[in-house]
Structure 1
């Protein structure tokens, strides 16, 4: 009884109402109120409640210990089954009614339906407590596709076509958007999200999708890989993409509940109606959706629309003047006249790319030319066939990127540590080509000094350079696995010759220092020869 009382008081301290506590613990509301009044009069804080002993509770609340009753046989049987029932209830399609039907067949003398459901809810409440999540206005938009699809009937052939149903919700006001689309492909997903923005009249700070391939190419707890086209769409509207975690259904519980509400409202309103086009179906969905959002929320005076107008409408980010245009890609070879061709129109590129394969990323307005990770140039799109678009700057020497000074600073820092690090960073710069990517990679490598120290950074760079591995993840793997052990300093050359076997990769910083001195003397000799 003392444990039960402590749980009652903890539920009350966490904000749970008296009616809910009474239902969860199967005791009268008056008893709950009496305990709550005694708890308030005691002046004990919620933080001290878990540490109170049974004797202290007995003293404060005068709980009679002699009124304990032995549990009945059916109570013991049900208590043993509750953990399994609670686990099965989380499965798709499982209901309390199904579980009770199974229980009543095996235990005909057991509890009736109402008592069974109450004890199951009480068990789940005590074992699966959840925290409250505060949603800020205009912060996120949750999106998902409904599991049950709708139908369109071809007017000529009478063929039935299944269509997907897209659902979005703003969690602060619960303002909901719903639309039918042809598929879950990225083109339809992006268009549906964009229509949701225009329905709301603004864009949130972040979009929270499920881990479908149209939005997330690789799910990861820390750094999920976002589909490039979906990421470009989000960037156009100034949004971040924050995918829900895998196997964490509570991350998107709001939108899943919104899908269930669509089943009970929109799906019911259009049931039995035959639609011959997607536009016709979406007009019916929008009409039902307006009535749904105008309906007052349970135990509240406001509707979803009222809360949206009051809390979120003015907080959403303004929409850009132009809608997002999804970009396409093509590969072309730079011709000898330093032009590339797209749709029979020719665009100029710098002469150093002649004969090289480049990637054209284009939409209805612009064309971007990339060579590897390097952005070469941008042109306004022109679809006039056999015409030429030329930039005068392409006849001039290439301009240096703004990151080169920063790279020089990193190289100066590396020289203060060891020449091995300098040589490795130069190899990384050569591998990355594009100045910004090279600067980021060099900065990331130099930051490894904070975690692993200078000696490990030097040995890791030496090991990575010999293995021709130039990414941060690869050098981190070397340091984590200890693959740089052969490159660590601390043993004299004479001792190393006798103590460790010879290895062609063991060179050390003296090797690079001598090479640097030799290069410097060669430069001086050349200068002296020129002066003579």
Structure 2
């Protein structure tokens, strides 16, 4: 009756019959009938507006009941419809399959169009669903299919069930499908990455359901996202926008995409046997390509064409490298200033000994944090019981291989004089045991600090002539002064000697130190000055 009141009010303010029909959608003849009865009543508009619903219905509507009593066949169908609507939520159940079942039980039943209309009327009567506008490049819905596929081991015949991951871009309905071993976060993250690379870009947000691999704790207002899944989303510049718990309509399109996978991909590979995940996914990709190329119901385009036309250009570009999931481990820095990960040791600066640090690592590298501060980083090395150390940490002890360190001594000797180089090589050959050879050669080189470079080379020449190879032999020659006869003349002195400058060290004391010391001692003896 509200519509009738508004119609009469519009007529009273001067609207035409045609305009009223266009505004309220009854036929023009119906509008004329209402206007004629209003004019015949002789009542004012204000009085009509105050009349009850029953009076208005009696005045303007026909009293005879135009509704017909439903037939027994329709009553029978209406009684079955609520159960049919409930069963539509099951996997693989469609309106068409329910109608076929209805006809088998009631051969004289209604045709598909009437059956479908009755189902739709019941669904709309039970629950009203709001319309959602999907923007291009805005979201990606992800979900797992309820029915699993199988991989059969070629040698043992063991059957292993695998999960089926489904992703869809809701604007274009472009769909991705892949088989994975499990619903764990590692497989979920890899599957999401594969979907992004299949689409050729990343949307603004990814919409998962509340599985633990993506959502640690579900909440209507602010759910807690799994750290690794959130890190993957951040790497691709996406937000994580989980669907509400127990609200499947929040991701209805991916739910429907799963049903479509049952009718297309599952049906195409039914009866085939696969011995590995790669061959199964190859078959899925072939079927998926045909599915995306098929024209959509009620549209002239396919999913792929719609994606290329309206959504592809709005996706964000993907990074040059793929995301690597990082793991985290909390450890205590040991007394030797190392931490251990997978039985391998990594050095840490000495000031962190005894402190708790976090190791964040992936397949290639690891970073060590103390709180929010990055302490150091290393390349990943899984050699059991090995040690990886940075020279910048300046840890005590000798680090590195003896071959490398001995090679550095040879390079230093070569820069000084070939006499010294040849002598050190002969010493190493005589010692045979590499650590002992390194220690001896290092000791010989260290004599430069006390006796100078020229005398060291001369002493090595003297020792070589006498076939005396070792640290003590060179030291005795220097103490006795036997190297003097092997000292080169000024004309024969190499540039290395002429340009040589003695090293400055806090433990090296020159002539001036001892001269001052001798003067002080004399003053003590004469003046009785005691320090």
| Structure-2 change in CA distance of 1:102 and 1:390 (3 Å) | farther
What's the CA shift for 1:332? Answer: 2.1
| Structure-2 change in CA distance of 1:237 and 1:111 (3 Å) | same
Q: Which residue of 2 aligns with 1:223?
A: 222
Question: 1:314 is paired with a residue of what secondary structure?
Answer: helix
Contact preservation (8 Å) 1:347, 1:379: no
Structure 2 CA distance for aligned equivalents of residues 127 and 212 of structure 1 = 28
TM alignment of 1:45-194, pairs within 5 A: 64-69=62-67, 71-72=69-70, 74=72, 85=83, 88-89=86-87, 91-92=89-90, 112=110, 115=114, 118-194=117-193
Contact preservation (8 Å) 1:82, 1:123: no
Q: Which residue of 2 aligns with 1:386?
A: 387
Q: Which residue of 2 aligns with 1:205?
A: 204
- Give deviations 1:457-511, integer Å, cap 9, x for gaps: xxxxxxxxxxxxxxxxxxxxxxxxxxxxxxxxxxxxxxxxxxxxxxxxxxxxxxx
What's the CA shift for 1:300? Answer: 1.7
- Give deviations 1:329-376, integer Å, cap 9, x for gaps: 23321123544333524232471x3212222111134323344x5444
Structure 1 CA distance for aligned equivalents of residues 344 and 185 of structure 2 = 28
| Structure-2 change in CA distance of 1:309 and 1:73 (3 Å) | closer
Question: 2:192 is paired with a residue of what secondary structure?
Answer: helix
Q: Which residue of 1 aligns with 2:375?
A: 377
Structure 2 CA distance for aligned equivalents of residues 304 and 85 of structure 1 = 33
What's the CA shift for 1:36? Answer: 3.8
Q: Which residue of 1 aligns with 2:484?
A: none
| Structure-2 change in CA distance of 1:86 and 1:161 (3 Å) | closer
| Structure-2 change in CA distance of 1:116 and 1:58 (3 Å) | farther
Structure 2 CA distance for aligned equivalents of residues 382 and 127 of structure 1 = 59
TM alignment of 1:331-342, pairs within 5 A: 331-342=330-341
TM alignment of 1:459-498, pairs within 5 A: none
Q: Which residue of 1 aligns with 2:348?
A: 348
| Structure-2 change in CA distance of 1:349 and 1:237 (3 Å) | farther
Q: Which residue of 2 aligns with 1:325?
A: 324
- Give deviations 1:149-204, integer Å, cap 9, x for gaps: 11112111122221111111000111101111111111111111111111111111
Structure 2 CA distance for aligned equivalents of residues 89 and 355 of structure 1 = 63
- Give deviations 1:112-147, integer Å, cap 9, x for gaps: 575565334213224422221111111111011111
| Structure-2 change in CA distance of 1:57 and 1:255 (3 Å) | farther
Structure 2 CA distance for aligned equivalents of residues 159 and 136 of structure 1 = 45
Larger deviation, residues 295-304 vs 338-347? 338-347
Q: Which residue of 2 aligns with 1:16?
A: none
Q: Is 1:274 matched up with 2:270?
A: no
| Structure-2 change in CA distance of 1:363 and 1:136 (3 Å) | same
Contact preservation (8 Å) 2:366, 2:380: no
Contact preservation (8 Å) 2:347, 2:393: no
Q: Which residue of 1 aligns with 2:302?
A: 303
Structure 1 CA distance for aligned equivalents of residues 285 and 275 of structure 2 = 16
Q: Structure 2 length normalisation: TM-score? A: 0.58
Structure 2 CA distance for aligned equivalents of residues 335 and 264 of structure 1 = 59
Contact preservation (8 Å) 1:74, 1:111: no
Q: How many residues align?
A: 354
Higher-Rg structure is 2
| Structure-2 change in CA distance of 1:147 and 1:369 (3 Å) | same
Q: Structure 1 length normalisation: TM-score? A: 0.57
| Structure-2 change in CA distance of 1:100 and 1:320 (3 Å) | closer
TM alignment of 1:396-407, pairs within 5 A: none
Structure 2 CA distance for aligned equivalents of residues 319 and 336 of structure 1 = 44
What's the CA shift for 1:53? Answer: 10
Unaligned 5+ runs, structure 1: 7-31, 43-50, 395-532
Structure 1 CA distance for aligned equivalents of residues 86 and 265 of structure 2 = 29
Structure 1 CA distance for aligned equivalents of residues 61 and 355 of structure 2 = 86
Question: 2:290 is paired with a residue of what secondary structure?
Answer: helix
Structure 2 CA distance for aligned equivalents of residues 377 and 154 of structure 1 = 47
Unaligned 5+ runs, structure 2: 5-20, 32-48, 396-531
Structure 2 CA distance for aligned equivalents of residues 131 and 239 of structure 1 = 26
Q: Which residue of 2 aligns with 1:434?
A: none
Question: 2:219 is paired with a residue of what secondary structure?
Answer: coil
Contact preservation (8 Å) 2:103, 2:109: no
Structure 2 CA distance for aligned equivalents of residues 349 and 207 of structure 1 = 41
Structure 1 CA distance for aligned equivalents of residues 109 and 168 of structure 2 = 40
Contact preservation (8 Å) 2:85, 2:119: no
What's the CA shift for 1:389? Answer: 2.4
Question: 2:230 is paired with a residue of what secondary structure?
Answer: helix
